[in-house]
Homo-oligomer: A and B are copies of this chain.
Amino acid sequence: MPTIIDIAKKAGVSFKTVSRVLNEEVNVRPATRQKVLDAVKILNYRTNTAARNLRSKRPKVIALLINNPSQSYTQSVQLGALLGCQKYGLFLNLHTKYDKETIVSLASNAETIGFILTPPISDNKKVLETLSNLRKPFVRLGTKHPKAAGTCICIDDRQASYKITEHLINLGHNQIGFIKGHADYETATHRLLGYQEALEANGLTTNNDLIVQGDFSYASGLVLTEKLLGLNEKPTAIFASNDEMAAGALAAAYKKGLRVPDSLSIVGFDDSPIAMAVYPQLTTVRQSLSDMIEKAVEILAKPQTDNKNKIVILDHALVLRDSTGPALDT
């Protein structure tokens, strides 16, 4: 493994200058910087995080605030955070409490770099207010928030929702039920918007009876799908705002004796582990929670880049599996 001393020799500078370049410090001549970066590339240098952590007095702890009822969500998030921390030699401090006292005490810890907030905490106004009065940076996960400070990482929920709705429309569905997510989650609103825009763009009328209020739980998916299937003008497809509700919708379909996707198409959102666990496997939107959190860690780990009030939009993808099919001719 090459060290900064090897790089220094190759670039013809002192190893301290190499250190400066790697840490993106100011006052390095562009030409010097370039020489160093070239050497780094040629020798395939990787920072030794052990040495850095030993010597450096920088804070090393990331506070992750998460309070989500879904275990699988929590796990994905934690996994991504740990992956990021391993990469940058940081430590993770997981917290499920998010009262003012907790946050202030975390922020006043000199070891804390900053915070990562996950939904629904990332949309909590009190928390955002508390944090913006403190000196520590924070990164929010979820949808962009006009008023909120801090960097935000998200996918384009509206567009993703639009696309998956259009997928159903293209299969011939024109009565598409929509199960909203929990009202505390900003993403839920964006997903509804995408659905409505897709209907409109394709000349379908929005029928408010087909839009019901869920809470991201399996149970709500189950109950609300039963309600939707009890309507006079039954939907031939159901768009649940997350995979757990879609799994619940699937159960409701079984209960009514409907075959999926033959008699009812169902789509979810997230591509969480449950999407592949159920039968038939769910058509859904993949967003990589792990990647989002890893990105969040990266942003906090590199303090010099200007992150304040930035919005990072990551990719999503439609995942077509077995829970969607052509609409029945009626």
Contacts and interface: CB of A to CB of B under 8 A. Distances in A.
Interface stretch (A122-130, A181-189, A201-209, A251-259): A251-259
A250 interface: yes
A91 B82 contact: no
Given A54-B48, A89-B50, A91-B86, A71 B278 contact: no
A48 B89 CA distance: 13
Nearest to A248: B279
B251 A72 contact: no
A244 interface: yes
Interface residues of A, number: 40
Contacts of A82: 79, 82-83, 86
Interface string A112-152: 00000000000000000000000000000000000000000
A195 interface: no
Interface string A51-74: 111100000000000000011100
Interface in A267-305: 273-274, 276-279
Contact of A257 (B251, B255, B273, B276): B255
Main secondary structure of the interface of A (DSSP, over half): helix
A219 interface: yes
A4 interface: no
Contact of A218 (B54, B248, B277): B277
Contact of A250 (B51, B75, B251): B251
Contacts of A250: 251
21 contacts: A48-B54, A50-B53, A50-B54, A51-B54, A70-B273, A70-B277, A72-B75, A79-B79, A82-B82, A82-B83, A86-B92, A217-B279, A218-B277, A219-B279, A247-B247, A247-B278, A251-B278, A251-B279, A252-B254, A254-B254, A274-B274
